[in-house]
Chains A and B, each alone.
Chain A
């Protein structure tokens, strides 16, 4: 049972453009929604996270938008750069994320010059 659905599977964006990755969840008990970034040969690293009491969180070029009623959240990467090329995973958990995470299936992002 896939409790967190992520799309698209792959994404190609031109340098300077906006990259958008979407996730939807089913379990209304989830209360922590992180995004992880993974480079080839490395483990996932926490990029940004949000809790459902806010609708948006921004850190630099990265923004999470959260829609509690629709049970959806998305990652926006502004001014996308070649160094942003990586695989991105959304995830969700209960108890504020410091216990087990349920991951989406990942999006391979490629930024082209």
Chain B
């Protein structure tokens, strides 16, 4: 079982460049999430999707956009990368409200903005 798969695993960008981080889950989960992890700050929610076709802002959405392409896939886009967006990005999925399927995380995308 793959669980939650994130691509790429590493990426270096220049300031102002754009890129899309990909995430796919094979657990038939309804809800998907994007977090960023920074030293001393834990994981902070960027965006989430409670179900296919819906997305909502989390704690730190500025500078990001998301697309819930279908039930399996949830992508995160940086339109104009900034050094402050250097971080490790984690995608997660869960069964969603009223389910008993807690959040499972991918292994992250390590992103550096120069």
Residues A101 and B44 in contact, CB atoms below 8 Å apart? no
Given contacts A41-B107, A43-B4, A43-B106, contact A98 B42 (CB under 8 A): no
List of A residues within 8 angstroms of B97 by Cβ: 95, 98-99
The stretch of A11-19, A62-70, A78-86, A103-111 in contact with B is A103-111
B residues in contact with A104, CB < 8 Å = 42
Cβ of A112 within 8 Å of any chain B Cβ, yes or no, is no
Q: Which chain A residues lie closer than 8 Å to B43 at the CB level?
A: 44, 89, 101, 103
In the assembled complex, B50 has its CB within 8 A of some CB on chain A:
yes
Is the beta-carbon distance between B42 and A6 smaller than 8 angstroms?
yes
- If A98-B31, A98-B97, A98-B100 touch, whether A103 touches B105 (CB-CB below 8 Å) is no
Which B residues touch A61, using CB under 8 A? Answer: none
A54 contacts B by Cβ under 8 Å: no
**A9 close to B (CB within 8 Å):** yes
Is there contact, CB below 8 Å, between B96 and A44? no
* Interface check B11, CB cutoff 8 A: no
Report chain A residues within 8 Å CB of B80: none
Binary flags per residue of B31-58, CB closer than 8 Å to A gives 1, else 0: 1010100001111110010100000001
CB of B49, distance to nearest CB on chain A (Å): 10
1/0 per residue, CB under 8 A from A, across B57-101: the answer is 010000000000000000000000000000000101011111111
Residue of B whose beta carbon sits closest to that of A89: B42
Nearest A-chain residue to B90, judged by Cβ? A43
5 A–B contact pairs at CB < 8 A?
A: A42-B108, A43-B4, A43-B92, A98-B97, A99-B97
